[in-house]
Structure 1
Amino acid sequence: MTSEDQKNVAIDVTAVETPQSPGIFADIASSFTYASYQNAIPVLRRVGVENRSDRQVDSLRLELSSTPAFLRPKTWTIDRVIPGDHLPLGDRKVELDAGYLAGLNEAELGEIGLTP
């Protein structure tokens, strides 16, 4: 195993929801390495929102962030989610900070947050 393979970040996923906000579903890699980045292995495999209320939600923003900043923040804008709708998002590309990942010399715990 090379030192590049040992540079990894463990992920803790946090989704913040309020009683009126739509639900968030996501499949995020539990850990990844600099080699994962080099081989284009996705961090975000699936993401979307669902409206469990009886009201339509308009102009929804879903924001993705990380601590520490090992990925670039991303925002999705969703025009409308009707009651009972389960809406997967097609644009799952997340830009990682290659310089940050390359500078790691040991495993580091990180957190990804999704906020409506």
Structure 2
Amino acid sequence: MEHTLSVHMEADVLPGPVLVKAKGSLTAETCPSLFDILDPALALSGCPSVTVDLLEVAHLETGGVQRLERYVSHYQAETALPAISIIEPQNTLRVEYLREGAK
């Protein structure tokens, strides 16, 4: 099954706050398309916050969320602003695939 992720960035007034909305499938493989939008949003001078909205993600794999969380942790370890928050759907079953040979 092919997974795709559509990402859209919104800001009423630049430099922010910025809202990044994702739709489709968030997997470890589709995360780079999200990072391609997050990188310039996080580079906006004076931006107070970036919110990553995953409410419209139809397929949410644990590996994708973990990769996003590592990205956010790494970024926030280097700089305090902008603050990054992730809005994740509640009561969503995260799909976790075990790769052959993995324990």
Is this a same-fold pair by TM over 0.5?
A: no
Task: Tell me the TM-score range normalised by the shorter chain.
Answer: 0.3 to 0.5
Higher strand share: 1
Normalization by structure 2: what TM-score? Answer: 0.36
Indicate the structure with greater helix content: 2
Q: Which has the higher contact order (CA 8 A, sep 6+)?
A: 1
Larger radius of gyration: 1
